[in-house]
Amino acid sequence: MKLRKVTAATAVALALATAATACGSDKKSDGGSSSGGKTIKVGIKFDQPGIGQKTPQGYSGFDVDVATYVAKQLGYNADQIEWKESKSADRETMLQRGDVDFIVASYSITPKRQAKVDFAGPYLLAHQDVLLRADDNSIKSPSDLNSKKLCSVTGSTSAQNVKDKLAPKANLQQYQTYSQCLTGLQNGAVDALTTDDSILAGYASQAAFKGKFKLGGFKMTNENYGIGVKKGSDLKAKINSALEKMVSDGSWETAVKKNFGPANYKNEPAPKIGNIVQ
């Protein structure tokens, strides 16, 4: 009888301890809080070398470095970041649904997107450009792309922009991925690859392609990369403060050189917060 009483008391104590633990656990599981919660969900690209890439070793790229710095300023260590793949077509929806707290994914600020989400930044001014073989001296301006084989991915507006406005006689080749375009450029199946210069520099900076490609430096459009947040989120102001600090302490320049340097990417100076270059 005495043994049963001890067992019952022990059971009650265990139940109380379990309940307390559960309460504590609930209190800590506000992933996405900007005030030091357990985790923060950040959207990046998983397939853009130099920008945002998932590898067996982890995540790398300029956007990853920017996101990690920003998260730290918000109170999160690197191991508290939950990375989410943010494909271009899904970014606004992911923010609106609350799937992520912010997105750093070569996300150009445009009026159409600003109607749906808010942007901190910009944190990088990129331009549409072309990637060429290092030994090709026949393409020195956009007009030289006439009669050349110009590659971009299916559905991209970049190549069509060149064909419509700059080189109407360009022979447009559309592949499924930029990696396929890069292979085509390497083996001579195409003469140029076009998209944002930052993305091109990221591909060209891969160890396997070092010294094989060069950027044209044509600056055909302005692409103001911003950090997307949900409409009305107070994270916008906090992220802007983090970006200003990243520039002032030299971390921004270090990240640029680390991720784009091998391609001799001539980046623009760090943009001022709220300064959208048209």
User: Given a cut of 90, is residue 4 above it in pLDDT?
Assistant: no
Rounded to 5 degrees, φ, ψ at 235 are -65, -25
Provide CB contacts within 8 A for 224, sequence distance 6+. 108, 109, 121, 122, 124, 125, 271, 276, 277
Q: Which of 26, 5, 4, 23 is nearest to 15 (CA)?
A: 23
Q: For 224-250, what is the mean pLDDT?
A: 98
Per DSSP, 228 falls in state E
> How high is the pLDDT of residue 31?
40
Provide CB contacts within 8 A for 117, sequence distance 6+. 91, 92, 95, 96, 228, 229, 230, 231
Q: Which two tokens stand for residue 173?
A: 């080749």
Q: How is the chain split among helix, strand and coil, in percent rounded to 5?
A: 40, 25, 35
Report residue 37's pLDDT band, with 50, 70 and 90 as the boundaries: low
Q: For 146-153, what is the mean pLDDT?
A: 94
Q: For 215-240, what is the mean pLDDT?
A: 96
Distance CA 67, CA 167 (A): 37
Q: What domains appear along the chain, each with residue ranges and CATH number?
A: 40-123+233-251 (3.40.190.10)
Angle of CA points 202, 268, 118, to nearest 5°: 85
> How high is the pLDDT of residue 107?
95
Q: For 238-248, what is the mean pLDDT?
A: 98
User: Given a cut of 50, is residue 71 above it in pLDDT?
Assistant: yes
> How high is the pLDDT of residue 177?
86
User: Given a cut of 70, is residue 159 above it in pLDDT?
Assistant: yes
**Which one has a higher pLDDT value, 217 or 20?**
217
Q: For 16-32, what is the mean pLDDT?
A: 37
Look at 18-32, 121-135, 249-263 and tell me which has the smallest mean pLDDT.
18-32
Q: For 90-100, what is the mean pLDDT?
A: 97
Distance CA 99, CA 40 (A): 10
Q: Which two tokens stand for residue 85?
A: 């793949």
The type of residue at 245 is K
Q: For 27-32, what is the mean pLDDT?
A: 37
> How high is the pLDDT of residue 150?
96
Provide CB contacts within 8 A for 39, sequence distance 6+. 31, 32, 76, 80, 81, 82
Question: Which residue do the tokens 């357990």 mark?
Answer: 38
Q: What percent of the chain has pLDDT above 90?
A: 73
